[in-house]
Amino acid sequence: MEVMIITGLSGSGKSKALKVFEDNGYYCLDNLPTKLLADIVRMLEQIEDFPNKACIAIDTRDANITRDANDSLDELKKVADIRILFLECDQVELVRRYKETRRLHPLMMYNASLDLISAIGLERELLSDIRARADYIIDTSLLSSSQFREKLLDTIPAGEEKPMSISFVAFGYKYGLGSDFDLVFDVRCLPNPFYVEALRGLTGKDEAVREYVMSSPDSQALFKRITDYLDTAIPLYEKEGKAQLVVGFGCTGGQHRSLTFAIKLAESYAAKGYLTKAVARDTDKNIHEISTRV
């Protein structure tokens, strides 16, 4: 099993790092007692269809880390291909982060006589041996979130980064906008199949509906404009570290025009290598209304 050990100073960004590794297919564990590293990895390897890579965070929340780390890491090397990532940060920035979050430093929980400055200094000393054997050291003091993510991705073998997941969601404005969309496009301006009797009871899942919607020059022009926008925006979202994007397409009922666009764009971006899906949020509501009217 491939195992990335994340450690370093408290407040330096270990939780954020775990999220990046999790987004890239690693099974992540936080605050694991250092002495259990090898045993946990042996157990994980026995689970059928379990990912062959894990990311484990250890730090001074384990009061015995200084005593156990070297022997435990040596034992782990016998059962896994391990790399160690050490995160650090300068004292001024760490103090600012702790004042912002109003959390206690872990060492202050064990020793009430320590102040924050003393706790940071003691932690550097306690982790000095692990830092010395680290494969990667990242100073997060001056890094933005996107810069930190880029540095983390440099520690992941080439080809491991997962493509962004994009959900194209069709919805009906008459049922409400919803709050989970990153982007929303209104397609109520396009020809409406609802007014074609043969298409009224169908949805954008049906080829006849999609052909009707896309036969309009206005639909084709809008589709191209939306595609051009997404082609520009999606790489920018990826650069900022966004792993999932939810794009909404709204028409009156969420059944015809919006679903046509959601399906066609899901197909288009799947062909470009993204993980996509088309979702019809309100189709069942429309079917129920039609049945009631009839």
Residue numbers of the domain that contains 63: 2-153
pTM of the model: 0.65
In tens, the pLDDT along 179-198 reads 779 999 999 999 999 999 99
171 and 95 in a single domain? The answer is no
Please report which residue ranges of 37-144 form alpha helices under DSSP H. 37-45, 65-77, 91-101, 106-110, 116-126, 128-132
For residue 3, give the nearest of 57, 59, 68, 80 by alpha carbon.
80
Residue % of the chain over a pLDDT of 90: 76
190 and 287 in a single domain? The answer is yes
Bridge pairing between strands 244-251 and 136-139: unpaired
Report pLDDT for 160: 54
212 and 177 in a single domain? The answer is yes
Residue % of the chain over a pLDDT of 70: 95
SS3 245: strand
Domain containing residue 75: CATH number: 3.40.50.300
122 and 254 in a single domain? The answer is no
Q: Cβ neighbours of residue 3 under 8 Å, at least 6 residues apart?
A: 41, 53, 54, 55, 56, 76, 80, 81, 82, 83
Q: Where residue 291 falls among pLDDT bands split at 50, 70, 90? A: very low
Strand order in the sheet with 27-29: 27-29, 53-57, 2-8, 81-88, 136-139
Final residue of a domain: which of 153, 183, 209? 153
The rounded distance, in Å, linking the Cα atoms of 35 and 159 is: 32
Q: In this structure, what DSSP letter does residue 255 have? A: S
The rounded distance, in Å, linking the Cα atoms of 263 and 280 is: 9
Using an 8 Å Cβ cutoff, are 9 and 89 in contact? yes
172 and 116 in a single domain? The answer is no
Final residue of a domain: which of 133, 153, 173? 153
Using an 8 Å Cβ cutoff, are 141 and 89 in contact? yes
